[in-house]
A and B are shown apart, each in its own frame.
Chain A
C-alpha cells in the first residue's frame, strides 16, 4: 500500500536560514507526490507536485522539492525562510489503487520560523 512518512513533527528555523521539511514515500509503481501547506483554521493550499521529469520541482512561494528515487524521498526546501512560512506542511502521494486524485497524507510537519 502507498504511504508517506514525515519523520519530524516540528521543524524550527531562524528567519533567513534555509529550511528543509522531510518526506519519504512508499509506492509500488511510479510515485505522484505532492506538498500542501495549511494555515490555522484554513484548508490546504497546493505548493508543488512531482509527476515525472526533472527531479527538482519548483513551486509556489519560493518552495521547491527534490525527488530522490534511490532514497525514496521528496523533501521540501526553501533557500531563505520567512516568518510567514510558519504553518503546517503535508506531504501526500496519490493512491494508485483507488479513485483518481485520492491522496494519502503524511502526518504533517509544523514549521516554525523565528524572527
Chain B
C-alpha cells in the first residue's frame, strides 16, 4: 500500500511553545489529508480536512487558531499546535488519500505522541 510518513513520532515541549508535526505522502500525491486526535483508549477524532492549495476545513469545536494546518504541496501537510498547554497532550495521526491510490481509502501516518509539560 501507499506510504505516509509522520514526523516526529514523539515530542515533548514546554507549555506556551509551538510544535509542528509533518505528514508526508512518500509514493503518491495526496490531494486530501486528514488530521486526527486520539485520546487514550478512545477512537480517532477528526480535527480537520485539508486539500492541497486551499484552507483546511475544521470540525466543530476545533480551534482554527490553535491548530494551524498547512497543505502547501501534494506530498506535505503540517499541523502546528500553537501555544501548547498540557491539555493538548495527545496522540495526533494524519492520513492521506489521492493519486494512484484512488479515492476509496486513506493511508495513515505512524502518529505523533505530543506531551506538553
Interface residues of A (CB under 8 A from B): 32, 34, 36, 41-46, 49, 51, 90, 94, 98-103, 105-108
Contacts and interface: CB of A to CB of B under 8 A. Distances in A.
A101 B97 contact: yes
A94 B44 contact: no
Contacts of A51: 104
Nearest to B104: A51
Contacts of B9: 41
6 contacts: A41-B9, A43-B4, A43-B111, A44-B108, A102-B34, A106-B43
A108 B39 CA distance: 12
Contacts of B98: 101
Interface of B: 1, 4, 6, 9, 32, 34, 42-44, 46, 49, 51, 57, 91, 93, 95, 97-98, 103-111, 113
Contacts, number: 62
A49 B105 contact: yes
Contacts of A105: 43-44
Given A41-B113, A99-B57, A107 B108 contact: no
A101 B43 contact: no
Nearest to A60: B1
B22 to A, nearest CB: 14
A36 B108 contact: yes
A43 B106 contact: no
Given A32-B104, A43-B93, A46-B1, A98 B49 contact: yes
A100 B97 contact: yes
B32 A46 contact: no
Nearest to B31: A100
A60 to B, nearest CB: 9
Contacts of B105: 34, 46, 49, 101
Nearest to B107: A46
Given A44-B93, A49-B105, A100-B97, A90 B44 contact: yes
A101 B44 CA distance: 15
A1 B93 CA distance: 24
B49 to A, nearest CB: 5
Contact of B108 (A43, A94, A99, A102): A43
